[in-house]
Structure 1
């Protein structure tokens, strides 16, 4: 590559946000360099375990003791990494960070990033979310409202394919949906019982998930979901949305994208004379070569904490504390969602019923607390939702003596009893002293400073966690389920894998880092469109919102370039 070439745009990162930035910028005619710190992953070709069965692994997919040492942080989430997906998660020994307080940083460094392994739950924010900070005098006010983002939600949903059910709720706006997946018989009855026994707006619906369900729809080479539930391995059908199956191929088709993997961006270069960024500094992950690439526009989509780290490392005489950081807001207000708590129960009956396929989705219970006077809770602000599923268990759990011969064979063919489980996802407030900084002493193997996390749950979060457990137990008991019990596993912020904040959006450079168009206030040709720009967290999965803001920002950047603002 010619390092003297000046691209129209550089996109840092290829995950949920980076893929969308690449697609939108290239389709607007911008010559775009896309940089990814990890190796290349080609759709289908580089999904080595996509068709494996459990018996293909000596430990049924569990990691060996040696691998558990390599993935000691990634494994805190339990379901990942496993033997079949470990190649899409980082080796923690090779990518360390500092935990001043516990922070569970789950990462995937490869082309496609965590778009290959995300949970695919896709929910819109509402004005209840965008207005909360201002109403409650928490953090900084969002300079946008739902009406500003709604058209971009439309665009993203129609392009990626989101299946779901329209509900008409203010707290969870409806979208452009593919046909909804089906609730099973236990979930349907739970839905009816909840509607009958509660009058505070709580309800059960199928999850809104980025899976194509309409066989007649056209999605540029992607097929419908096959109900295999092997999504994290990479879907050869393209049934779920990922950068690799969708946005990056779209960018490639324009002829305007140059994709360079193994490129660790660690600094944005700044020109004090023009008051603009001029490009990025890169270390080649394989050769350790130091390279510079130049562009008129920079899109930072490296994932929230990584993007904050790049901004913190981008120091100059003008910005000694990090690019655009006159406010000292950079690295502050780190958030996540509550996770690893909820309830389980046994369900009697329905033994003559089963379900078809392995639905890669569950049911969803939208937020129903702190929405009005009737649903107000004492002791904490904001709210939570639930994600869960009902299923028939393994036969062996119901058999005291496993038996042998014909009795054993007959038992193997019979599924177990029904159970139901739910996990709560709650909002995390944006505290200024929950922050990430650069370690003054610890370096990674490329000589770059490690990130240091000083983030914790506070009183609001702990009180909400208690209510998350209490309310779902109440709902399970009302439904007549048996052996209802709440649970709460050890976890820290980050384990929800929805980490966000650190370069928050706001009205001015005195209190925030980026403006309403995702531009760094003081360096307007730098856009931050991954989770770093979030000024609050809502309680819904955030990736759909990242995509909508990214598409909006990329179109804004293309218009600004055309108008000569970045020349």
Structure 2
């Protein structure tokens, strides 16, 4: 893997990819495979596959039994850990320190970040669900925002293409609104989860319960799963980094494949300040970079630029790329750049106990969470609601608790070797609508330690979200009751946008340059050699985890770019 440390040397590549996470890794791999020389720029530190410091530690090996002291949270993670579960001893080295990378909020915004090679592809939840035309047609049918410029038929072959490489385990269900994919054998439901499935589907036939679909290699196929990869060991320590390469990440998958082509250069500690625009050609010519260690500025040039710095990161770069042609940010003729921030609802869920199957247990620690319940509201006339639009889904599971009720002594030692009650837990993820006034912007006067404008967020939930949340929690309660559970509790704690770590939508695609930033190929309308294929392009948020859609759209965009260059010589 080449690393360029000469800060004052101007280097030209065929393509520059900004960001090394899920979509950036995919862009670099696809470009390299097609023969283009690629420079990948990552603002964070260098990390290589297998450099995972806590991957093989047990809980008792970690300080404070994996808890980060309150003093450390207060000093460094006061925004990152607002949800009180995210920052732990085993993953804190992947998480940005808030005191080093501040941002401003007009409304609370939970911006969860990781500045390192691989980005959040090391830490992601790995759930992979296709979208359908229920999602791609939603804005048009509801008269919300703008229509998607694509439909399921446009992306369906690209879902198949990336799923085969990524490796997605799951079970086919034949649902039109949650299309089946190219699945590896699933992590099956355990006996208690299967009991929940049977009880719920008997009471509510439209509510389907299926094993959660995740990017874990339940079966390693060398001819498909290239990179530094192997079969998932079901350790459920994925957010630490996997030394076995058992789940999909940039470090184990796309970056090694890109590097093997001999066309790949990776530069860490390289903060992209802005994209360089040439008024004469009306094209981007490269990027301006700040060295994270020396704070020196340098420039790199290319024929094509792919923005994959995350929804917030890419849009911040575009907003900061000002010129006489684009005084409000590169490609921002529509004025929509930075607007329409979306995420998924968070803070909704429930817990319960199950008294049955005390003689049953399970093997391994499934890394897929257990079950997934896809959307069942506003699917058709029979499921249509009159109080809100769109819908929600659930991720959850059942496991045996540790028996800690015995008094200290020999009885306690014996008790902790025996499984306790079955415990049920589920989280509801709901759709957030695209609102123009949910936005991010650059601070007019304040900058960060690198001289880059600080970000300002102003986004929140509205009436449709409030009504959707209430129904999501009520539906979960009635499903737990249908399963015969005890000690049922539900919660509805409206969290900030960003809390689900699925932020999207700040440079949306569309047919009309007057109302969108990108076209249907993820190209900036007015700057056709700039592509944006991370979550920025999203036009609505759906209920499904979005990362597999980002990867499919990235592969599709690279293929289009390659065909156009070969046909016309220019973009």
Common fold: TM-score over 0.5: yes
Q: How does 1:413-492 map to 2 (within 5 A)?
A: 413-489=417-493, 491-492=495-496
Indicate the SS of the match to 2:275: strand
Alignment gaps of 5+ in structure 1? none
Question: Are 1:515 and 2:519 counterparts?
Answer: yes
Question: Are 1:64 and 2:47 counterparts?
Answer: no
Q: Which residue of 1 aligns with 2:389?
A: 381
Whole-Å Cα distance in 2 between the matches of residues 288 and 566 of structure 1?
Answer: 34
Deviation at 1:216, TM superposition (A): 5.3
Q: Which residue of 1 aligns with 2:203?
A: 197
Q: How does 1:321-340 map to 2 (within 5 A)?
A: 321-340=328-347
Q: Which residue of 2 aligns with 1:367?
A: 375
Question: Which of 272, 277, 286 matches 2:284?
Answer: 277
Question: Are 1:259 and 2:266 counterparts?
Answer: yes
Q: How does 1:546-565 map to 2 (within 5 A)?
A: 546-565=550-569
Q: Which residue of 2 aligns with 1:506?
A: 510
Counting matched residue pairs gives: 561
- The CA deviation string for residues 447-474 of structure 1, in whole angstroms up to 9 with x for no partner, is 1111100000000001101011000101
Question: Are 1:530 and 2:544 counterparts?
Answer: no
Alignment gaps of 5+ in structure 2? none
Q: Is the 8 A contact 1:297 1:566 kept in 2?
A: no
Question: Which of 190, 201, 211 matches 1:184?
Answer: 190
Whole-Å Cα distance in 2 between the matches of residues 109 and 216 of structure 1?
Answer: 31
Indicate the SS of the match to 2:136: helix
Q: TM-score of the superposition, structure 1-length normalised?
A: 0.97
Deviation at 1:273, TM superposition (A): 1.1
Q: How does 1:35-50 map to 2 (within 5 A)?
A: 35-44=41-50, 46-50=51-55
Q: Is the 8 A contact 2:274 2:320 kept in 1?
A: yes
- The CA deviation string for residues 236-258 of structure 1, in whole angstroms up to 9 with x for no partner, is 11000000000000000000011
Provide closer, same or farther for how the CA distance between residues 479 and 558 of structure 1 changes in structure 2, counting only shifts above 3 A: same
Whole-Å Cα distance in 2 between the matches of residues 489 and 427 of structure 1?
Answer: 16
Q: After alignment, is 293-302 or 67-76 more displaced?
A: 67-76
Q: Which residue of 1 aligns with 2:402?
A: 394
Indicate the SS of the match to 1:147: helix
Question: Which of 344, 351, 358 matches 1:344?
Answer: 351
Whole-Å Cα distance in 2 between the matches of residues 378 and 394 of structure 1?
Answer: 44
Q: Which residue of 2 aligns with 1:103?
A: 109
Whole-Å Cα distance in 1 between the matches of residues 106 and 446 of structure 2?
Answer: 12
Q: Is the 8 A contact 1:108 1:114 kept in 2?
A: yes
Deviation at 1:50, TM superposition (A): 0.8
Provide closer, same or farther for how the CA distance between residues 565 and 502 of structure 1 changes in structure 2, counting only shifts above 3 A: farther
Q: TM-score of the superposition, structure 2-length normalised?
A: 0.97
Deviation at 1:65, TM superposition (A): 2.9
Q: Which residue of 2 aligns with 1:83?
A: 89
Q: Which residue of 1 aligns with 2:32?
A: 26
Deviation at 1:217, TM superposition (A): 5.3
- The CA deviation string for residues 188-238 of structure 1, in whole angstroms up to 9 with x for no partner, is 011111221113x11110000000111555423411110111101110110
Q: Which residue of 1 aligns with 2:309?
A: 302
Q: Is the 8 A contact 1:348 1:417 kept in 2?
A: yes
Deviation at 1:564, TM superposition (A): 4.0
Q: Is the 8 A contact 2:391 2:543 kept in 1?
A: yes
Deviation at 1:442, TM superposition (A): 2.2
Q: Is the 8 A contact 1:315 1:322 kept in 2?
A: yes
Whole-Å Cα distance in 1 between the matches of residues 84 and 35 of structure 2?
Answer: 43
Provide closer, same or farther for how the CA distance between residues 115 and 215 of structure 1 changes in structure 2, counting only shifts above 3 A: closer
Q: After alignment, is 519-528 or 190-199 more displaced?
A: 190-199
Deviation at 1:483, TM superposition (A): 1.8
Deviation at 1:136, TM superposition (A): 1.0
Question: Are 1:293 and 2:297 counterparts?
Answer: no
Q: Which residue of 2 aligns with 1:55?
A: 60
Q: Is the 8 A contact 2:346 2:430 kept in 1?
A: yes
Q: After alignment, is 372-381 or 163-172 more displaced?
A: 372-381
Indicate the SS of the match to 1:560: helix
Q: Which residue of 2 aligns with 1:206?
A: 211
Q: After alignment, is 238-247 or 478-487 more displaced?
A: 478-487
